[in-house]
Amino acid sequence: MTAARDRGTRAGKELDRIVNFSDGVFAIVITLLILTIQVPDIPAASAAQELPGRLLELAPKFLSYVISFLVVAVYWMAHHRVFRPMRGCDRTLLWLNFLFLMTISFLPFPTSLLGEYGDQQLPVVIYAANFSVASLLLATISWYATNGHRLTDPEQDEREAKLHLIQGLAVPAVFLISIAISFFSVNAAMYSWLLLLITDPLLRRIRSR
Amino acid sequence: MTAARDRGTRAGKELDRIVNFSDGVFAIVITLLILTIQVPDIPAASAAQELPGRLLELAPKFLSYVISFLVVAVYWMAHHRVFRPMRGCDRTLLWLNFLFLMTISFLPFPTSLLGEYGDQQLPVVIYAANFSVASLLLATISWYATNGHRLTDPEQDEREAKLHLIQGLAVPAVFLISIAISFFSVNAAMYSWLLLLITDPLLRRIRSR
Amino acid sequence: MTAARDRGTRAGKELDRIVNFSDGVFAIVITLLILTIQVPDIPAASAAQELPGRLLELAPKFLSYVISFLVVAVYWMAHHRVFRPMRGCDRTLLWLNFLFLMTISFLPFPTSLLGEYGDQQLPVVIYAANFSVASLLLATISWYATNGHRLTDPEQDEREAKLHLIQGLAVPAVFLISIAISFFSVNAAMYSWLLLLITDPLLRRIRSR
Amino acid sequence: MTAARDRGTRAGKELDRIVNFSDGVFAIVITLLILTIQVPDIPAASAAQELPGRLLELAPKFLSYVISFLVVAVYWMAHHRVFRPMRGCDRTLLWLNFLFLMTISFLPFPTSLLGEYGDQQLPVVIYAANFSVASLLLATISWYATNGHRLTDPEQDEREAKLHLIQGLAVPAVFLISIAISFFSVNAAMYSWLLLLITDPLLRRIRSR
Mean pLDDT by 10 residues, chain A (209 residues): 52 83 95 91 84 90 90 90 85 93 94 88 89 89 81 69 74 84 84 77 71
Cα gap C207→C203, rounded to integer Å:
6
DSSP, res D86: B
Tell me if the pTM is above 0.80.
yes
pLDDT digits (tens, 9 = 90+) for B163-203: 777 777 787 788 888 888 888 888 888 788 877 777 777 77
pLDDT band at C1 (very low <50, low <70, confident <90, very high): very low
Is the per-residue pLDDT at B5 higher than 70? no
Of residues C7 and C87, which shows the higher confidence score? Answer: C87
Q: Would residue B69 count as lying in a domain? A: yes
Q: CA distances (Å), D157 to each of B155, C91, D81, D140, in order?
A: 38, 21, 13, 18
Residue of D125, D121, D107 lying closest to D64 (CA atoms): D107
Choosing among C16, C18, C34, which should be mutated to test the A contact, i.e. which has the most A CBs within 10 A? C34
Q: CA distances (Å), C185 to each of A15, B203, C59, C62, C181, in order?
A: 41, 70, 19, 20, 6
Q: How many CB atoms lie within 10 A of CB D176?
A: 15
CA distance D120 to chain B (A): 7
pLDDT digits (tens, 9 = 90+) for D65-91: 998 999 899 899 989 888 888 888 888
Q: Which positions in chain A touch C66 (Cβ < 8 Å)?
A: 102
Do the chains contact at B26 and D21, CB–CB below 8 Å? yes
Do the chains contact at B117 and A47, CB–CB below 8 Å? yes
Q: Which positions in chain D touch B48 (Cβ < 8 Å)?
A: 120
Cα gap D96→D200, rounded to integer Å:
23
Q: Which positions in chain B touch D16 (Cβ < 8 Å)?
A: none
pLDDT band at D29 (very low <50, low <70, confident <90, very high): very high
Q: Would residue D30 count as lying in a domain? A: yes
High-pLDDT (> 70) share of chain D, %: 89
Choosing among A39, A70, A202, which should be mutated to test the B contact, i.e. which has the most B CBs within 10 A? A39
Q: Would residue A198 count as lying in a domain? A: yes
Q: Would residue A163 count as lying in a domain? A: yes
Q: Are D170 and D207 in contact (CB under 8 A)?
A: no
Model ipTM value: 0.86
Q: Would residue D47 count as lying in a domain? A: no
Is the CB of residue A70 less than 8 Å away from at least one CB of chain B? yes
Cα gap A171→A193, rounded to integer Å:
9
Q: How many CB atoms lie within 10 A of CB A2?
A: 6
pLDDT band at C207 (very low <50, low <70, confident <90, very high): low
For D19-156, where are the E strands, in sequence order?
none
Q: Which positions in chain A touch B123 (Cβ < 8 Å)?
A: 51
Cα gap D139→D164, rounded to integer Å:
7
Q: Could you tell me which chain A residue has the CA closest to the CA of B23?
A: A27
Q: Would residue B44 count as lying in a domain? A: no
Of residues D158 and A43, which shows the higher confidence score? Answer: A43
Cα gap C31→C28, rounded to integer Å:
5
Q: Which positions in chain C touch D23 (Cβ < 8 Å)?
A: 17, 20-21, 24
pLDDT digits (tens, 9 = 90+) for C142-191: 888 887 777 777 666 667 667 777 777 787 788 888 888 888 888 888 88
Q: Which positions in chain C touch A24 (Cβ < 8 Å)?
A: 23-24, 27-28
Q: CA distances (Å), C74 to each of C108, C112, C168, C192, in order?
A: 16, 19, 11, 15
Do the chains contact at B66 and D102, CB–CB below 8 Å? yes
Residue of D28, D54, D60 lying closest to D41 (CA atoms): D54
pLDDT band at D101 (very low <50, low <70, confident <90, very high): very high
Q: Which positions in chain A touch C80 (Cβ < 8 Å)?
A: 14, 17
Q: Which positions in chain A touch B95 (Cβ < 8 Å)?
A: 73
Residues in chain A: 209
Of B23, B39, B69, which has the smallest distance from its Cβ to D113's Cβ?
B39
CA dihedral (B158, D11, B80, B189) in degrees, to 10, reads 100
Choosing among C17, C22, C30, C39, which should be mutated to test the A contact, i.e. which has the most A CBs within 10 A? C39
Is the CB of residue B52 less than 8 Å away from at least one CB of chain D? yes
Q: How many CB atoms lie within 10 A of CB C85?
A: 19
pLDDT at site A6: 52
pLDDT at site D158: 67
Do the chains contact at B24 and A20, CB–CB below 8 Å? no
B9-20 as b/e, with b when 16 or more CB fall inside 10 Å? eebeebbebbbb
* Cβ–Cβ pairs < 8 A, chains A and B: 63
Domain range for D162 is 2-34+62-208
The least confident of A140-154, B6-20, B88-102, C124-138 is: B6-20
CA dihedral (D72, D73, D78, D80) in degrees, to 10, reads 110
Give the total number of structural domains in chain B: 1
Q: Would residue A54 count as lying in a domain? A: no
Q: Would residue A80 count as lying in a domain? A: yes
Cα gap D173→A28, rounded to integer Å:
36
Mean pLDDT score across all residues of chain B: 84
C contact chains, 3+ CB pairs < 8 A: A, D
Of C20, C105, C108, which has the smallest distance from its Cβ to D30's Cβ?
C105
Do the chains contact at D37 and C109, CB–CB below 8 Å? yes
Is the per-residue pLDDT at C48 higher than 60? yes
CA distance B99 to chain A (A): 9
Q: What is the 3-state secondary structure (H, E, C) of C56-121?
A: HHCHHHHHHHHHHHHHHHHHHHHHHHHHCCECCCCHHHHHHHHHHHHHHHCCHHHHHHHHHCCCCH
